Amino acid sequence: MSLWYSITFLGDSAFTVPGACAVALWLGLNGWWRQMLRWLFIFGTAMMIVVITKLLYMGWNIAPPLLYNFTGISGHSASATALYLTVAVLLTEGRAPRWRMLAIAAAGVLVLAVGMSRFMIRVHSASEIVTGLTLGALAAWWFCRGLSDSGRALRGGIVMAAAAAFLLMGTSGQPAPTHDLLKQLAQSLSGRDQAYTRSIPL
């Protein structure tokens, strides 16, 4: 189980949010200002959708009727998918198509492992993980389809990696307390003493 916990941390907001900021910095250093703003907007929008679905359930017990055992989109799955698929595409800008295919395949395996880890440590249902993976993939696709076909490779990959490492130093390897914060926010917005919790065991 310790392996699954290590894998699941790769999707934690303590890891993916600094990673997303590092990607934005990387784009800015290359002069891709428009793409930097698009990335921040798209990644932020995807994460906001995750937050809204969680607040709706915790505060008012609202969930899509067709999704079984759904308490909100898996933020780990969504953020990891959006981030790692996008990084795979950016790393292979200006390179041969086979390298892009390999990078995207490797990123796909990684994000599926993150999604599976959420199921294995029993914090998310299948519907929450699938919707998270889907949302993250849509976010990555939306961003990447807007990239200019200049054939120019992005410079400063080492700078991006160093920025991500620097931003991560503040986490001390600890998960972000996002669930507890959302729970408190849901109680405050709904006026309930207790937030709604999962009624069907995983």
Q: What is the DSSP string of 49-83?
A: HHHHHHHHHHHH----TTSTT-SS--HHHHHHHHH
Q: pLDDT for 59-83, tens place per residue? A: 999 999 899 999 999 999 999 999 9
Helix ranges (H only) for the chain are: 2-9, 13-29, 33-60, 75-91, 97-120, 126-144, 157-168, 178-190
Q: pLDDT for 152-170, tens place per residue? A: 777 867 767 776 676 666 6
Task: Look at residues 70, 43, 76 and name the one whose alpha carbon lies nearest to residue 58.
Answer: 70
pTM above 0.85, yes or no: yes
Backbone angles phi, psi at 124, to 5 degrees: -140, 150
